[in-house]
Amino acid sequence: MSRPTQRILIVGAGIVGIATSALLSEQGHAVTVIDRTGIAEETSKGNAAALAFSDIMPLASPKILLKAPKWLLDPLGPLSIRPSYLPRLAPWLWQFWKASLPARLQTSIATQTALMRLAEAEMMALVERAGIGSMVRHDGSLELYESEAEFKASADGWARRAKAGIGFEHVRGNRLADLQPGLSPRFEIGTFVPGWKTVSEPQRFALALWAHSERHGAVFEKAEVRALERPEQGPAVRLADGTARHADRIVVCAGAWSTRLINPLTRLRIPLDTERGYNTTLPPGAFDLKRQLIFGNHGFVVTPLDTGVRVGGAVELGGLDLPPNYARSRSMLGKAAEFLPGLKTSGGVEWMGFRPSLPDSLPVIGALPGDRSILLAFGNGHLGLTQSAAMGRLVADLVADKAPSIDIAACRPDRF
């Protein structure tokens, strides 16, 4: 016997909201997605295009804690915190330190591994159902090292990936050159991950998934949600124009803005901040890039897109209100020109997005404590595209009052 259709309102039309809409609308629910701008017009518009299913290592780890002091001395380096923002970030940093302790780290890795397995299965199945397989590239990724010492420092992470069944190949010499011609000779070693995937262009991919959701009846409303409400007749959102929209369930997929909506409803305080990511997208033909290149020690990637070559990444912890610092994107572009001699760096478009980040690198998935009609699904950091279909599946499980497809205890909203 099929379950009754529910009226579901999703706040946020980023990639997590879109994938959640697709999974729920496929099940016959009446889905409305509300966003102040449009479909994938904010953080999901300019990401690095990776379906990084092998990226199971949390940002919070002893390795990062050792590197962080050196990185923080460079305001344009892989990890940056503006001094004026440190007092506001202190609670987040305290939770970050706790998340790097051995027991918490093991839990995060185990949960991330399960989440990534679900993410790959759900995304590839959704891509097939949507008929957009041509938008997914199966070229793998190539992570690059400048020395034996840098390569050896990565050994623990690769050992954990091997234990999780993730395939990879360490390469040198001609094999390295074949995987990416034109690299600077400063890179002596690389690790090729054949299962790593990218999409042809992130916003186009998101729009294609949205079209699939629309074909199953989902609708979009452009409006600014000012507040969540819980009147007697069921949950609702209050819009900027003063009107309300009621539903049986509300799913908060508003990324870095999510806690601004839920905080007035609850005493629960989720330590959500932003990994502000910067990039520059160069015109087509800027470089003959064979696959996504990962410069881990420098905190950025270079990705081939249908629309050109995207150079970006790094982490600036700085909330939602500080102005962008595009010197960070220019710094990464300058390094990319050194690492890829022949890269044409003119004509690029700079961008900055707010990646919603939690201290343990795990998202929030679950009901608002005390109210099962409001579901929370946000906080994927730099893995929103990668994990979006898994988030959709888990939300669909919760809507159906089923046991989640994986154990999400470590992702519960009140874990902090």
Whether residue 1 has pLDDT greater than 50: no
The full DSSP string for 320-350 is: TTSPP-THHHHHHHHHHHHHSTT---TT-EE
Query: Can you tell me the mean pLDDT for 247-256?
Result: 97
pTM value is 0.95
Nearest to 279 by CA among 323, 315, 329: 329
Give the number of residues written for the chain.
416
pLDDT digits (tens, 9 = 90+) for 27-61: 999 999 999 999 999 999 999 999 999 999 998 87
In this prediction, residues 72-80 reach a mean pLDDT of: 77
Please state, in angstroms and rounded to a whole number, the distance separating the CA atoms of residues 34 and 229. 15
pLDDT tops 80 at residue 66: no
Residue 74: pLDDT band (50, 70, 90) is confident
Of 60-74, 98-112, 277-291, 356-370, the poorest mean pLDDT is in: 60-74
Whether 54 contacts 168, CB under 8 Å: yes
What is the predicted pLDDT for the residue at 3? 58
- Secondary structure of the chain: what % helix, strand, coil (to 5)? 40, 25, 35
In which band, very low, low, confident or very high, does the pLDDT at 149 lie, cut at 50, 70 and 90?
Answer: very high
| 252-277 per-position pLDDT tens digit | 999 999 999 999 989 999 999 999 99
Q: What is the pLDDT of residue 370?
A: 86
What pLDDT was estimated at residue 191? 98
Q: Which domains does the chain have, with CATH numbers?
A: 7-411 (3.50.50.60)
What span, in angstroms and rounded, lies between the C-alpha atoms of 114 and 297?
26
Question: Tens of pLDDT along 362-401?
Answer: 999 999 998 999 999 999 999 999 999 999 999 999 999 9
Q: Report helix, strand or coil for 403.
A: coil
pLDDT at residue 10 is higher than 60: yes
Q: Could you report the per-residue pLDDT of 95-119, keeping only the tens digit for each?
A: 999 999 999 999 999 999 999 999 9
Encode 97-108 in three state secondary structure.
HHHCCHHHHHHH
How does the average pLDDT of the chain come out, rounded?
94
What was the pLDDT predicted at 314?
83
> Tens digits of per-residue pLDDT, 155-202?
999 999 999 999 999 999 999 999 999 999 999 999 999 999 999 999
pLDDT value of residue 205 = 98
Burial 22-48 (b: 16+ CB within 10 A, else e): bbbbbbebbbbbbbbeebbebbbbbbb
Q: Residue 234: pLDDT above 90? A: no
pLDDT over 90 for what percent of the chain?
87
Which is it for strands 300-305 and 292-295: parallel, antiparallel or unpaired?
A: antiparallel
Predicted pLDDT of residue 25: 98
What is the reported pLDDT for 73?
65
